Every structure is written in C-alpha cells, then in structure tokens.
Amino acid sequence: MKRVLTYGTFDLLHYGHINLLKRAKALGDYLIVALSTDEFNAGKGKTAFHDYETRKMMLEAIRYVDLVIPEKNWEQKISDVKDYHVDIVVMGSDWAGSDRFDYLKDYCELVFLDRTPGISTTKIKHDLGLVKDET
C-alpha cells in the first residue's frame, strides 16, 4: 500500500482543495491529511474561519481522505512520515522553488502539485469582504 501525506489549513473548503486531494490520492492508495490546528495557525499569524474540529469533520467526509491528523508545528513532518509509513509527501507548487522541504527527500518522495487556477481561500475571503485590502 502506497501512503500519501499532505498538509494544510483547508479553511473555507472549495473545489481547489477537492482537486488537490483527488490528485494527491491518485498518487497512492491511502491519503493522510495533516490539518493545521488553530494554535499552529495562530503561531503563523493566521486565523481560520472554521475551527479545527469543523475543518476536520469536513475533510473526513471527503471520499479521497482516509485519515486526518493534527499539524501542530513545522517540525513534525519527519515523525509523521515515519509514524504513518508515508511514501509520498505532497505540497503545493508554490513551495517548489524553495528548499524548505528538501530534507524530506531523505525519508520519502516529495511531490509538488499545482494549485487550481482562479480559486483560493484568500480570494474567497476577499470576495466575501472577510479580509480588508491593505492600501
């Protein structure tokens, strides 16, 4: 069984998230989503619209997702790969130019998937007036 792991906040769930999860699942047999906790997001200066438990419930209802685990800090990735016997870690292509996650290549395959054009949680928040434009 090939296990795939991805990370994210998955706030204001949208079709871009579904596309990512579908493509990640297609890389293997079992998809694990490490979902950013509210505390971890706060440490990054982010606030999700939905709390962790609500986001977790939504992800668990998606047929591509086999398991949701908490993402509590940046440093847990190696232990996640080891503990869950992960073969592939999937990250968004916006990280592809960075060497931030290169260390994972010593433990598993690292795959970058393109984001879905024209949609993002940030765009939705702006369109709904939930985020003020800084001018």
Q: What is the pLDDT of residues 44-79, one digit of tens each?
A: 999 899 999 999 999 999 999 999 999 999 999 999
Tokens at residue 15, please? 């079709």
Are the CB atoms for 3 and 29 separated by under 8 Å?
yes
* 103: nearest Cα among 126, 127, 74, 68: 74
Whole-prediction pTM value? Answer: 0.90
Active site residue 44: yes
Q: What is the pLDDT of residue 127?
A: 79
Tokens at residue 62, please? 């998606």
Residue of 22, 25, 46, 123 marked catalytic: 46
User: Residue 67: what residue type?
Assistant: L
95 by DSSP, 3-state: which? helix
Active site residue 25: no
Q: What is the pLDDT of residues 90-131, one digit of tens each?
A: 998 888 878 889 999 999 999 999 888 887 777 887 878 877
Residue of 2, 44, 82, 105 marked catalytic: 44
CA dihedral 81, 21, 19, 123 (to 10 degrees): -80
